[in-house]
């Protein structure tokens, strides 16, 4: 094949698909096999790590990756690998600096699952504001009481990270009638103005929001960005939602704030360690968890898969995808 994105002649011979959901999707399998027959799919039903991951990728010159950690140690053990294409929107699991070092091209398209993640975020906000987790636990214990919650329409919602998902979410929230605040490290004032969103600093957002929803990558700058001190800034009775990446919230601090009633609810789709076995949050009645399903809508999986397939043939310089914080 000729890679127009980087201007090189390169014959893509064999492809390894790490993503479990891509591997299970008959439509995506057929579309990829229609373009290249020599494809191996991850049929194990699990996310591959360590030597198992390396052994799976080693015979191939191209890979479609999902949440697997592709760091310098892994890439060092894969001298044949020439192309990595991302199934999903975050690139934080791929060491882009190492990829450039080894001459590996990267295919990626942002925002392809934004509506699926935004819709899940809305559902978790409503669940948190209306006490869905608490009511469910009560009924299971034989207790019938009516939890008095709040409407999303009258809430102030703070969006932390105003990229593809954050902007799509803002549009949905405005349709509900919510007041929307947002913060981002980039100047997105034009995008905010178009949506009727007010940009502000993170601490001000925490001070003023009834719901705080996270949509940032996990980086050194965002790790545990919502810690005990910042939770203490939040309004009593506020709701926390995270459909972005585990690790951006200090989970023990969040559990403590739920137990003492400072926060009324928290709803997480992602955790620092997945699955979150033994996590203290799971014992708190006002906590609601989902299993990293933000992009797990059929339509989103098709969009992510097709972007990943295209990325095999349009992969470019990984330096183009290195985020602002890492440069």
Q: Which residues are catalytic?
A: 245, 274, 292
Q: Are strands 39-41 and 62-65 parallel, antiparallel or unpaired?
A: unpaired
Residues 6+ away with beta carbon under 8 Å from 97: 72, 318, 322, 326
What is the rounded CA–CA span in Å between residue 180 and residue 174?
7
Residues 6+ away with beta carbon under 8 Å from 113: 88, 89, 294, 295, 297, 300, 303, 304
Structure tokens at 271: 């955790």
What is the rounded CA–CA span in Å between residue 59 and residue 250?
40
**Do 90 and 41 contact (CB within 8 A), yes or no?**
no
What is the rounded CA–CA span in Å between residue 6 and residue 102?
15
- Give which of 289, 219, 208 is closest to 251, Cα–Cα: 289
Burial class, 46, CB count within 10 angstroms (exposed 0-12 / middle 13-18 / buried 19+)? exposed
């Amino acid at each position: 094949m000729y890679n127009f994105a980087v201007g090189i002649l390169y014959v893509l011979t064999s492809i390894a698909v790490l993503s479990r959901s891509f591997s299970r999707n008959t439509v995506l399998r057929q579309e990829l096999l229609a373009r290249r027959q020599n494809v191996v799919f991850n049929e194990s039903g699990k996310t591959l790590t360590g030597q198992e991951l390396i052994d799976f990728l080693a015979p191939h010159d191209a890979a479609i990756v999902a949440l697997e950690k592709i760091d310098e140690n892994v890439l060092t053990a894969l001298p044949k690998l020439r192309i990595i294409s991302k199934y999903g929107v975050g690139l934080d699991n791929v060491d882009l600096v190492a990829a450039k070092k080894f001459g590996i091209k990267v295919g990626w398209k942002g925002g392809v699952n934004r509506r699926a993640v935004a819709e899940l975020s809305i559902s978790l906000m409503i669940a948190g504001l209306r006490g869905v987790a608490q009511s469910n636990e009560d009924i299971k214990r034989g207790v019938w009481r009516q939890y008095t919650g709040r409407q999303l329409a009258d809430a102030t919602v703070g969006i932390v990270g105003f990229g593809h998902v954050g902007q799509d979410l803002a549009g949905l929230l405005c349709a509900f009638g919510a007041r929307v605040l947002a913060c981002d490290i980039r100047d997105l004032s034009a995008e905010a103005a178009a949506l009727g969103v007010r940009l502000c600093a993170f601490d001000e957002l925490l001070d003023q929001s009834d719901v705080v929803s996270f949509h940032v990558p996990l980086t050194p700058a965002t790790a545990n960005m919502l810690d005990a001190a910042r939770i203490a800034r939040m309004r009593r009775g506020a709701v926390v939602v995270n459909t972005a990446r585990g690790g951006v919230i200090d989970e023990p601090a969040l559990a403590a704030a739920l137990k003492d009633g400072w926060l009324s609810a928290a709803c997480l789709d992602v955790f620092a360690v997945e699955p979150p076995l033994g996590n203290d949050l799971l014992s708190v009645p006002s906590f609601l968890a989902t299993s990293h399903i933000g992009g797990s809508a059929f339509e989103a999986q098709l969009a992510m898969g097709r972007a990943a397939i295209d990325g095999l043939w349009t992969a470019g310089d990984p330096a183009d995808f290195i985020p602002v914080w890492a440069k």
